[in-house]
Amino acid sequence: MTSPRWKRIVFKPSGEALAGPSGYGLDGDTLDLTAKEIIAVREMGVDVVVVVGGGNFWRGRQGAMTGMDATQSDHIGMLGTVMNALALQDALERNGQDTRVQSAIEMPRIAEPYIRRRAMRHLEKGRVVIFAAGTGNPFFTTDTAAALRAAEIDADALLKGTHSGVDGVYDADPRLVPTAK
Ligand code: UDP
């Protein structure tokens, strides 16, 4: 058997990647497929952390465009990521994978608070750890959260899954800016 290229990864699906073809809300088949793919990686002995996006429900700039307070709008966006985290946890656990959700905004009835050492311990025990609520701060995105958590937990790779078919990391949105590098 070939050994995996990385020992520990952060996987960052955009909210849209969990939404299925419509790009909105959540899609049961997409969640199930995503869960199975995550479990296949875990079964190779790779520690898997998931940082979920939330754009399938709300992006902060949507509210800002209509005059909503920007911080308030970002709080709504972060709550969207918590819904995605709980849905993905459900899909993983129905497929037999022990999973913990840690939220950067404390909501102890439904998720653990983000505690780095505790997250590392979950990984040692073979659990998939899902980080919800981004960084917990407005004016950031879940991509920033993924990079931050990847550094904090000493991940070997950060992998991003998008719905839009963008094939890498660019200095601008390649769908809008043809010269993006
Ligand atoms: N968000 C935030 N702080 C964070 C992460 C996310 O305020 O640290 C808010 C922000 O409004 C963002 C929304 O949550 O638009 C959803 O996250 P993101 O746009 O990154 O989701 P994705 O595009 O990956 O689906």
DSSP string, 94-134: HTT--EEEEESS--TTTSEEP-HHHHHHHHHTT-EEEEEST
pLDDT for 159 equals 94
**Mean pLDDT score, 28-50:** 97
163 pLDDT tier (thresholds 50, 70, 90): low
Q: What is the average pLDDT score of the chain? A: 94
121 within some domain? yes
- Tell which one of 141, 152, 160, 173 to mutate to probe ligand 1, the residue whose CB is within 8 A of the most ligand atoms: 141
Which atom of ligand 1 lies closest to the CA of 145? 8
* Residues 14-29 pLDDT 10s: 999 999 888 899 999 9
61 within some domain? yes
171 within some domain? no
149 within some domain? yes
pLDDT for 152 equals 98
User: Long-range contact list for 162-165, CB < 8 A, 24+ apart?
Assistant: 162/13, 162/14, 162/16, 162/17, 163/14, 163/16, 163/17, 163/19, 163/23, 164/14, 164/16
The total of structural domains in the chain comes to: 1
Q: Are 154 and 147 in contact (CB under 8 A)?
A: no
176 within some domain? no
Q: pTM here?
A: 0.93
Residue range of the domain that includes 130: 8-153
41 within some domain? yes
pLDDT for 89 equals 98
Helix (H) or strand (E) holding 159: strand 157-161
- Tell which one of 62, 81, 102, 135 to mutate to probe ligand 1, the residue whose CB is within 8 A of the most ligand atoms: 81
Helix (H) or strand (E) holding 146: helix 142-152
pLDDT for 169 equals 75
Query: Tell me, what CATH number does 54's domain have?
Result: 3.40.1160.10
80 pLDDT tier (thresholds 50, 70, 90): very high
141 pLDDT tier (thresholds 50, 70, 90): very high
Residue 30 CB neighbours (<10 A): 20
Q: CB within 6 Å of ligand 1 — which residues?
A: 14-16, 53-55, 59-60, 74, 77-78, 80-81, 134-135, 137-138, 140-145
161 pLDDT tier (thresholds 50, 70, 90): confident
